Amino acid sequence: MSIASQHSTSMTDEQQRVAHLLNALNQVVLDKPNVVKLALSCVLAGGHLLLQDLPGMGKTTLAQGLAQLLGLSFNRVQFTNDMLPADILGMSIYDQSKLDFAFRKGPIFTQLLLADEINRSSPKTQSALLEAMEERQVSQDGQRHALPAPFFVIATQNPLQQSGVYPLPESQLDRFLMCLSLGYPSPAAERELLRGESRRTLLANMTAVLDTESVMAAQAQVAEMYVADTVLDYLQRLVAKTRASNEYHGLSPRGVLALLRAAQAYAYVSGQQEVAPEDVQAVFAAVTDHRLGQPFLPAHIEHHQSAQTIAQRIVQDVSILT
């Protein structure tokens, strides 16, 4: 039996379906296999995702493709500077037939919420998502309303250099498990975009690979992924390096747990049965840069060797072996 066949037979049914989902998503979001894999890992880790890039880079396509293939209910909210918290959470409306107030649910009551251009709304509206993202519930008029399970927020953010945007506060950024950027497509991928079907048509024709039950089963398997002590040692050395600088605050305990969950999910999506140091490396920048105050860099600058992110420098400085 070949190594490849041994690897495939060791995968669970959910892992094989996740591999099929990953392949389907790469047919829609072209030339971004690493970003797509990280985004799927973020969702299966039970985390929220922040996509920051210039407009028109495919952020919304990625979010819609994930929702369609995961078989989850989906709502999209276009954030604007005049939006109020009630526009997202819902509000109490007086019901004349019952002579009482009834809570009318807002668009946040869905399994996957796309918060489009989240930083175009005021800080007050942005903060309305905090409880929902952390507690999976909404409090209104002294009552708590549970959100559907599973619940994810995928938010898109425009560069702060553009007009009419507000920076996300640190407490809001910390609620996002990962922060990713798509960047420009390669010339070959761009040619396929020009000659091929529109992304809207492709999305409309996609069928779900998973459903609510299988998504939650996959999340449970992610949480059970084995992590050896040597991998935890390496993870803690990376974390200690983030806390050894006077230029930025190091990772909090919540950030450390997020890093572990993301590494488990990445290993799971890769079809593995346990977490390797390379899985920690693969997710480290996506999980930590936005928590360490790394500014948004446009795609053509981000990958330039002289403009490495904080996380990339830390990974280079910390050896896997003690």
- Domains of the chain are 3-317 (3.40.50.300)
Query: In the prediction, which pLDDT does 163 show?
Result: 66
Tell me the Ramachandran region of residue 172: left when phi exceeds 0, alpha when psi lies from -120 to 50, beta otherwise: alpha
- Rounded to whole angstroms, the Cα distance separating 36 from 84 reads 32
The predicted-structure confidence for 58-114, as pLDDT tens digits, reads as follows 888 999 999 999 999 999 999 888 888 888 988 878 777 777 777 888 899 999 999
Average model confidence (pLDDT) across the chain: 86
- Rounded to whole angstroms, the Cα distance separating 290 from 294 reads 5
Cα 219 off chain centre by = 14
Question: 161 pLDDT band (50/70/90 cuts)?
Answer: low
SS3 content of the chain, % helix, strand, coil (to 5): 50, 15, 35
Query: In the prediction, which pLDDT does 103 show?
Result: 81
**In terms of pTM, does the model score above 0.95?**
no
Please report how many Cα atoms fall inside a 13 Å half-sphere around the Cα of residue 229, on the Cβ side.
0
- Rounded to whole angstroms, the Cα distance separating 38 from 177 reads 11
Question: 269 pLDDT band (50/70/90 cuts)?
Answer: very high
SS3 73: coil
Phi, psi for 177 (deg, rounded to 5): -60, -45
- Does the pLDDT value for residue 300 go beyond 80? no
Query: In the prediction, which pLDDT does 67 show?
Result: 92
Within 8 A by CB and 6+ apart from 293, the residues are 170, 248, 249, 310
176-180 and 48-52: which strand pairing?
Answer: parallel
**Residue 304 or residue 139, greater confidence:** 139
Are residues 175 and 133 in contact, defined by beta-carbon separation less than 8 angstroms?
A: yes
The predicted-structure confidence for 69-83, as pLDDT tens digits, reads as follows 999 999 999 988 888
